[in-house]
Structure 1
Amino acid sequence: MSVILFTAPPLPHYIVSGKTPMPIGSKHPNRQNIGIFDLLIVTKGCLYVGEDEHDYEVAQGYALLLRPDKHHYAYSGCLEETTHYWLHFNILGEWTAIGEETYRSERDTAFEEETQRPVRLSAFSTTSYTVALPQFVKLAQPQKLTEVIDQLIMMDQSTHLSGIRLKQQALFQEVILLLSASLRAGTPSPQSVCAERAASYLRENYKESFSAKRLGESINFHPVYIARCMQRMFGCPPAVYQLQVRIEQAKLLLLQTNLTVERIAEEVGFNQPAYFTSSFTKIEGLSPRKYRQRFTWTRE
């Protein structure tokens, strides 16, 4: 496995992202020297993608970073229904790729040398630093990463509005941090495994009424332990997490459809439109109707 190294500043630049469901037999596009990095994150099923002479099985919870200067191809169609996120970005400065073993050896050597060297910096100096991204990795926090990309996708609908592109670039740096952290991470802790499983279940079943007992039975953890793990990993208990997922889905429907607010409330699992409106307003700071008006405004 290769590691992509780049020096910052400048920081990588976000271009566009999306989420693609793929039926059995479908394949990743065959492309050559596309000039941008293509990050693939599988959330269901498996992608069979090659880069030059290296073939990868990108299963659920894994990420593959395709280089801008290589030939990418599918060496097999999907054997099951597969869903993946994709994200295109560019590194505006210089970058290089080295083997993982070489990277870890050089990193350890550099750390030893750095700790023995005195640091002398002026008050106004700008210090560059190296960032390492794994080319193929099991993600340490796949749910967090896809949540950030969901926000980026949502923002893509409103790039005509002032300040949105800057917010996207700032948010994209969190993708870089999470991807880089996966390279450093070892075996995931039991707490993170529990939280990730719970989050996956809640995202897949967000329309259903919340039940701590049903959640615990579905992922084989005690509800109290699940709540503790999710609070630690996501900063909120399961019921609040599910509510936030419903609001995320509602925002997409507000931007991408002409459904009424009442119908959207029903579509995302709310029995009472008034409760949907109050919950949405509390989380987003404005009502669903005002959110739609604000983010679908176009210039004359």
Structure 2
Amino acid sequence: MTFNPSYIHLAAPPFPYFLECGRTVYLPGDQHPNRSCMGKFDLIIVEQGCLYLGEEHTEWAVGAGHTLLLPDRYHYSVRPCEAETIFTWVHFHTVGEWTESAGEPVYADREEHFRQFLTHPYTIRIPQFGPLPAPFARSGQAGQLLQLNQGRRSSAVWQQQRIFEEMLRTMDLARQDTAGSQADEIAELTEAYLRNHYAEEVTNTSLADALHFHYNYLARCMKRVYGLTPMEYLTDYRLEQAKLLLLKTEIPVGGIAERTGFESAAYFSRRFSRKVGISPLRFRKRYSR
């Protein structure tokens, strides 16, 4: 068997949504069915024994205490179980873009994601195969999902989605390497500063001085997590705030430019038109009441 260190990257929001779950027991000689393009992801959590599964050119021996995430592709049984094997399976789907790569995150088409969902994506990173994270094992989340299957769907559907999202969050955070975790923390710190100070003059130097990190390092962290440099993120955030002011107030374009941190009304209008496709005034006339 070969170990595949690949990660499945899921762009969110919108977050993946829970479909169904179950618990299966295989006796010695039983094997997982071959499946192709089910239209959903299959998260397998082995409690006892070992499943032998393959996908394309990779094969796994998924033993007790391990998880395997199978995307919507062809997967197959490598060989039958050698001992009694018990596992929980969780099926889910995602509307956002997903992809697979080894190690480093691979980002979605951020401009298209922003146009479709009106926000830049966060990338949920789940190792395709690996040991069950300790926080996940202690939480009992898989058992909670199974138990809710026995109740009324009208109440279970909300709870199952909440538990499922917490399950993904636990796996995402627990599986990040140390460097990745630090990059996430620095990127989020940078994002928070930019959101709190967008109306002020922010330069590479002032940002570095405020956060006590070299600007190039801040830019690398932001690129890794958000796919944008700090200044690109700042411009996008300023434009979103400008949209709100155009729709909710009668403040002139020059005043909006000043309130959202742009150096001049002319520069604001150019950036707005380039991003949105129409001028600020046309945007206001078209979308405000």
TM-score with structure 2 setting the length: 0.53
Alpha-carbon distance, 1:144 to partner: 2.9
1:139–1:182 CA contact under 8 A, matched in 2: no
Alpha-carbon distance change, 158 to 126 in structure 1, aligned in 2, over 3 angstroms: same
Q: For 1:128 and 1:99, locate their aligned partners in 2 and report how far apart those are by CA, in whole Å.
A: 20
Who is 1:139 aligned against? 132
Give the Cα separation in 1 of the matches to 2:146 and 2:36: 25
2:156 maps to what in 1? 164
* Structure 2 partner of 1:155: 148
- 80, 84, 92: which one aligns with 2:83: 80
| C-alpha contact 1:138 1:182 (8 A) present in aligned 2 | no
Q: How many residues align?
A: 163
Cα distance, 1:126 vs. partner? 5.1
Return 5+ residue gaps in structure 2 as ranges: 108-117, 179-289
State which structure, 1 or 2, has the greater radius of gyration over its C-alpha atoms. Answer: 2
Alignment partner of 1:16 is 2:20: yes
Stretches of structure 1 that go unaligned for 5 or more consecutive residues are 108-124, 187-300
> Does the aligned pair in 2 maintain the 1:140–1:181 contact within 8 Å?
no
Matches within 5 A, 1:56-71: 56-68=60-72, 70-71=73-74
| Separation in structure 2 between the aligned mates of residue 81 and residue 176 of structure 1, nearest angstrom | 28
- The one-letter code matched in structure 1 to 2:36 is Q
Counterpart position of 1:42:
46
Cα shift readout 1:58-84 (whole Å, capped 9, x = no counterpart): 01111000111x211111111111111
C-alpha deviation, 1:150, in angstroms: 1.2
What's the CA shift string for 1:231-270, capped at 9, x where partnerless?
Answer: xxxxxxxxxxxxxxxxxxxxxxxxxxxxxxxxxxxxxxxx
Q: What whole-Å deviation, never above 9, does each CA across 1:161-214 have from its counterpart, x for those lacking one?
A: 3x321121111111101222342268xxxxxxxxxxxxxxxxxxxxxxxxxxxx
Residue of structure 2 equivalent to 1:265: none
CA distance in structure 2 between the partners assigned to 1:13 and 1:55 by the alignment: 27
Does the aligned pair in 2 maintain the 1:16–1:153 contact within 8 Å? no
Report the identity percentage.
34
CA separation in 2, counterparts of 1:21 and 1:144? Answer: 22
Q: Secondary structure at the match of 2:161?
A: helix
CA distance in 1, matches of 2:77, 2:129: 16
